[in-house]
Amino acid sequence: MSTVCVHGLGYIGLPTAAMLANYDHEVYGFDVDTELTDRLQSGDVHFDEPGLRAFVTQALNSGQLEITDEVVQAKYHIICVPTPFNETAKEADLGYIERAGSAIIPELREGDTVILESTVPPGTTVDVLQPILEESGLSAGADFALVHCPETVLPGNIISELQQNNRIIGGVNGLSTEAAIRLYDSFVEGNIRTTSDATTAEFVKLIQNTFRDTNIALANEIARLSRDYGIDSREAINLANEHPRVDILQPGPGVGGHCLPIDPWFLGQNSDELDLIANAREVNDNMLTYIMDLLRDELGTLSGKKIAILGVAYKGNVGDTRMSPGLELARQLQVSSEETAAMADGGVAGAAISIHDPKVDDATLSLESLEATITDADGAVLMTDHDEFKDLAASEFVDAMREPVVVDTRGMLDMDEWKDAGTTFCRI
């Protein structure tokens, strides 16, 4: 067992720190946010993630995990800090990576290992982090090990996936890779795969998420095409997938979270070759405009209409609203008249919005009960595939809504049943 300092106690850093501690490593969880570290020291886990509170509490009570607001010496430094997305420039802000590297310098010793887990553009480990760490006077690959090992977990199942998922490790040389393998082998039950260098490991993580984003874009374009022919896109896709070499994902309202809408742009940050991938991003981002067009086709103008949004978590059965299509739809429906005049995508002025999400707990959002959300609504859009929405009753919507126009972006509702009940029903 070894000493580990985890830098950044967010969605990945905190579960990683607790995992290592519960596997008997001596772990120091560091974050620059002192309010956060104070809360964690008192046992207040700030994420809505199944089992995480008990998992972190176990690590803290065992004494193997210590929360600190100072970087400490450790044989392993794991960087799990954010890489915010600059929407205008379509690129990653690497400031947190740079500051984490600088903070490690005073504590870096010969024989230590630095592991970057944050999702980053290809080349970040060797072109950005390595020069910073070498300001210590030590050389990466010779005096200390330097590695990229991307995380690949899914919110709602983080603890299990940290253990069971395969891991990809890419060091700046073979000795670096071997040092990281020794640490991850202590808790990873999946396979540990190695790459020839750190940049390949960075690249692999990005193309994994880019594949999913591009596949969803294909499904979304199929959905839009199928409407022109009066075809049910989901039926067509399911039948197409009967072919042994075809695996099309399902259409939807676009993509959310901190990976799929962002990683494709990271992939092309240092290249001029982004073409198909950039077009796929545009297809997925434009699904909100398509949804508004579906509403407009049935209601005419949306100005002054009440639109009920069911689900603002970016995926089903979690409370995570990062890059949420539901929240972005709400924003676009409410844009001002001045903004609308300048919007090329036909944004809607002044629609009234009501939001219901049984999984989200966010005091900054005006969330309502399902009944209040749909009462007197002119349109309802199902945006998130929570299990609770599987049993929605069409009759309740018909009775409560002013104009029962319903758009199901997730394919959760029985189209024939809802049409027979008297709704004007559209399904992506």
The terminus-to-terminus CA distance of the chain in angstroms comes to 51
DSSP 104-149: HGGG--TT-EEEE-S---TTHIIIIIHHHHGGGS--BTTTBEEEE-
Q: Which amino acid is at 383?
A: M
DSSP 178-190: HHHHHHHTTT--S
CB neighbours of 403 closer than 8 A, spacing ≥ 6?
A: 298, 299, 377, 378, 379, 424
Judged by DSSP in three states, 86 sits in strand
CA 347 vs. chain centroid, Å, equals: 25
Residue that is written with structure tokens 């982090």 in the block = 129
CA 97 vs. chain centroid, Å, equals: 19
Catalytic machinery residues: 205, 259
DSSP 205-270: HHHHHHHHHHHHHHHHHHHHHHHHTT--HHHHHHHHTTSTT-------S---SSSTTTHHHHHTTT
CB 17 within 8 A of CB 162: no
Distance CA 181, CA 172 (A): 13
